[in-house]
Amino acid sequence: MRRQVAELALTLSFTLAFALSFTLSFTLSLALTLSFALALTLSFALALSFALALSFALALTFALTLTLTLTFTFTADVATRPFDAPLLAVAEAVLRAGAYAAAAHAQVAPDTPGAFVAALAVEQRRDAGGTEGAGGDERRGDDEREAAGRRKA
């Protein structure tokens, strides 16, 4: 009975922590949102790698999500926090690798705002049986040529 109460209390506290980090991720910044997504993915993978009861696996996921989200977000600038350089270098490398992979997949510049959105759009088109390219480039080129033709006339 005491163990069940402890599991319930732990699960509830981590659920609240998860809800807080989830809320913060949509109100603070894009960096926090991306950190949250990465942290949730890593946390879920780690929690599944242990043979735990479901409630403990969920609690571990929530705890790691909150911890990793805060770590990735609030220690993201290597220049202002030189004492965290090794941790920050790893976190930045992971996030940049994801950004470059998504950007390459969507055929856009990696630092373009919306590179992740473009990558998701490409995946959705592929899942729906659409074309593999970014798609917007061809239409944008047609629109620009049409607008140039109107300006000449």
Structure tokens at 95: 């996030």
pLDDT for res 78:
47
Mean pLDDT along residues 32-36: 65
Residue closest to 111 by CA, chosen among 128, 127, 93, 99: 99
pLDDT for res 61:
72
Residues in CB range of 142: below 8 A, 6 or more apart: none
Helix (H, G, I), strand (E, B) or coil at 139: helix
User: pTM value?
Assistant: 0.26
Mean pLDDT along residues 107-135: 59
pLDDT for res 101:
59
Burial of 137 per CB tally in 10 Å (0-12, 13-18, 19+): exposed
pLDDT for res 57:
72
Average pLDDT across the chain, whole number: 61
Query: pLDDT tens digit string along 58-72?
Result: 777 777 777 776 666
pLDDT for res 89:
59
Q: Contacts by 75-80 with C-beta closer than 8 Å and gap 24+?
A: 76/31, 76/35
Phi, psi of 130 (to 5 degrees): -85, -165
Share of the chain above pLDDT 90, in %: 0
Task: Answer for the pair 100, 109: CB distance below 8 angstroms, yes or no.
Answer: no
pLDDT for res 58:
74
Structure tokens at 49: 């790698």
Single-letter residue type at 81 = R
Mean pLDDT along residues 9-22: 58
Query: pLDDT tens digit string along 126-145?
Result: 666 655 554 554 555 556 66
